[in-house]
Chains A and B, each alone.
Chain A
Amino acid sequence: MTTKNKIITEHLVLQYSDGTESLKDISLDIPINAISVIFGPAGGGKSTYLRVFNRLNDLAKVTKISGKVHLYSDSGGYLDILDPKIDVTALRRRVGMVFARPVVLPMSVRQNLTYGLEIAGERKKSHLNQAVERSLKQAALWEEVKDRLEDPAADLSGGQQQRLCIARSLALEPEVILLDEPTSGLDPISTGKVEASLQELKKSYTIVLVPHSVQQAARTSDYAAFFLQGELIEYAPGKNIFTNPVDQRTADYIEGRFG
């Protein structure tokens, strides 16, 4: 059974000007409609790798970047993410990101959700309202905030804020959702809710997740990639890698013997 791939990476090399968190020759296929987990000890390049997918590393001082990163669409064609001539704002609407600490914009709940659409030029009230309701339902937040849409988003609880951030990305109807340790600031119940919604979301989107613990990686991954000091050590279906990893370093890390 071959799974279609959403993002294909070939020999990606990346270096920051201060030498930190570089990526050394990464080749990896992210399958469509699945949760791919990038895990490993701190400083291993996981966040760096994620930020390549939505070109957020443009904001940092990157001295070298080479290789191929292609984003595939349903038609079979692909976009060369690393090409400096592409429309990065359009890319970022196709590849959304959720960060470690819930960062809600200093506006109401509704405005947070419509922000992305408005800057893309959407004006019609009906479209915006539909997007608000749809994305909140997809993020399993609709029932909790449907009567509080005009309240400042900062009034929501931590777990709600993070789900709002997920909804905010969903409002743009992306193809890929990147999540960088999304539950590290949340309590166990909120963490569980986020993980459960990811299982639903993967049916329609491609999810790439950097987990905040090995256990979260084990719980959520369909596919898991172990990154160590900027190198891809091992990549396999989740149930294989967490019961029978091939590389000694992967086994040591998963068992908690280092990192």
Chain B
Amino acid sequence: MKSRTSAERRNLTQQIGFLFLRVVAIIAVLPIIAILIYIVYKGAPAISWEFISGFPSDGMRSGGIWPAIVGTFFLTMGCALIVTPIGIGAAIYLAEYAPDNRWTQSIRIAIINLAGIPSVVYGLFGLGLFVIFLNLGISIIAGAFTLAIMTLPVIITTTEEALRAVPQSFRVVSISLGATQWQTVRRIVLPQALPGTITGVILGLERAAGETAPILFTAAVFFLPGLPSSALDPTMALPYHLYVISTQVPGMSSEIQYGTALVLLIFVLGMNLLATVIRSRARARRQW
């Protein structure tokens, strides 16, 4: 006869609860695994040295995607060069210097709102400001600026969080030893916040690398005979390239489509991995 004590019943409830949570967790991970498997499966056959380093031919139906890879790289780098100093600088201001008043409040609200703007709107804005008004034309630089504005809120937020995570007691001690606020930030706060900041920057750039809409009107073109020679040139880019060959080119082999997607995925996941490694190494070496 099974007579359950209340302790046994509670234990059983707990086991069921954990089982349920485990199942849910697995379900949550399934889509990512599914995507990975699917794309690797369908795209791997296309991957070869020629594919990665060669130029497209036959209206993109064959050949390689080297210019797109280079273009994405340039755009990401450009974005990084622009957004990193501005974003980190703004974060330092907000975390360490900004007084607690209405003005600062509105800045924060503005940043939050900035984060919510759809990426296609950024593209349109970039078109209006950089391409047309500033007359930069469709170019890497216009694209980099547009991507930078899009990435800015993320960088500011994560950097500010990393700065705030540094214990206040360090700042107080530093000040009590005769340091100015800037010396404190430069010598203690910023170095301690660096791992978190770098992680944030990489994750932000990761998004910039993979977005199509912002570069749609500002930098990307479908075909260039050669590589871009200056920042004022337009460029091919992986996300845009993937969009076009998947929708605009008749008779496209699905192999090349998935191969391009795979390359983009590797690019992005590679950055993710880099960020994770930096974060875990920093955590292990942290002295607080």
Contacts and interface: CB of A to CB of B under 8 A. Distances in A.
- Contact, chains A and B (beta carbon distance below 8 A): yes
Interface of A: 54, 56, 59, 89-90, 92-93, 96-97, 99, 101, 103, 105-107, 115-116, 119-120, 152-154, 165, 168-169, 172
Interface string B178-201: 111001000110001000000000
Contact of A92 (B167, B169, B177): B177
Contacts of B224: none
A90 B287 contact: no
A106 B176 contact: no
A158 to B, nearest CB: 14
Contacts of A153: 287
Contact of B178 (A101, A106, A116, A154): A116
A103 B178 contact: no
Contact of B173 (A93, A99, A172): A99
9 contacts: A56-B176, A89-B180, A93-B177, A93-B178, A101-B169, A103-B173, A106-B287, A107-B287, A172-B178
B173 A119 contact: no
A103 B192 CA distance: 15
B177 A106 contact: no
A105 B178 contact: no
Contact of B176 (A54, A101, A107, A152): A54
Q: Is the interface of B mostly helix, strand, loop or mixed?
A: helix
A119 B188 contact: no
A99 B287 CA distance: 19
A119 B172 contact: no
B286 to A, nearest CB: 7
Given A59-B172, A93-B178, A115-B179, 16 more contacts: A59-B175, A89-B179, A97-B176, A99-B169, A101-B169, A103-B167, A105-B170, A106-B286, A106-B287, A115-B177, A116-B178, A119-B177, A120-B178, A153-B287, A165-B173, A169-B177
A54 B172 CA distance: 12
A97 B192 CA distance: 23
Nearest to B285: A152
Contact of A106 (B170, B172, B179, B183): B170
A152 B169 contact: no
A59 B176 CA distance: 11
B288 A154 contact: yes
B187 A119 contact: yes
Query: How big is the B interface, by class?
Result: 10 to 19
Contacts of A54: 176
A54 B176 CA distance: 7
Residue of A56, A105, A120 with most partner-chain B CB within 10 A:
A105
Residue of B167, B175, B187 with most partner-chain A CB within 10 A:
B175
A154 B288 CA distance: 7
Interface of B: 167, 169-170, 172-180, 183, 187-188, 192, 286-288
Given A119-B183, A152-B287, A105 B173 contact: yes
Given A59-B172, A103-B170, A105-B170, A116 B177 contact: yes
Contacts of B180: 89, 119
Contacts of A105: 170, 173-174, 188
Contacts of B288: 106, 154
Nearest to B173: A103
A139 to B, nearest CB: 15
Given A59-B172, A106-B287, A119-B183, A168 B177 contact: yes
Contacts of B167: 103
Contacts of A89: 178-180
A93 B175 CA distance: 10
Contacts of B173: 99, 103, 105, 165
Contacts of A169: 177
Contacts of A172: 177-178
Contacts of A106: 170, 188, 192, 286-288
B245 to A, nearest CB: 50
B194 to A, nearest CB: 12
A122 B176 CA distance: 17
A107 to B, nearest CB: 7
A230 to B, nearest CB: 22
A115 B186 CA distance: 13
A92 B176 contact: yes
A18 to B, nearest CB: 13
Nearest to A87: B178
A11 to B, nearest CB: 26
B195 to A, nearest CB: 12
A99 B178 contact: no
Contact of B172 (A99, A115, A120, A152): A99
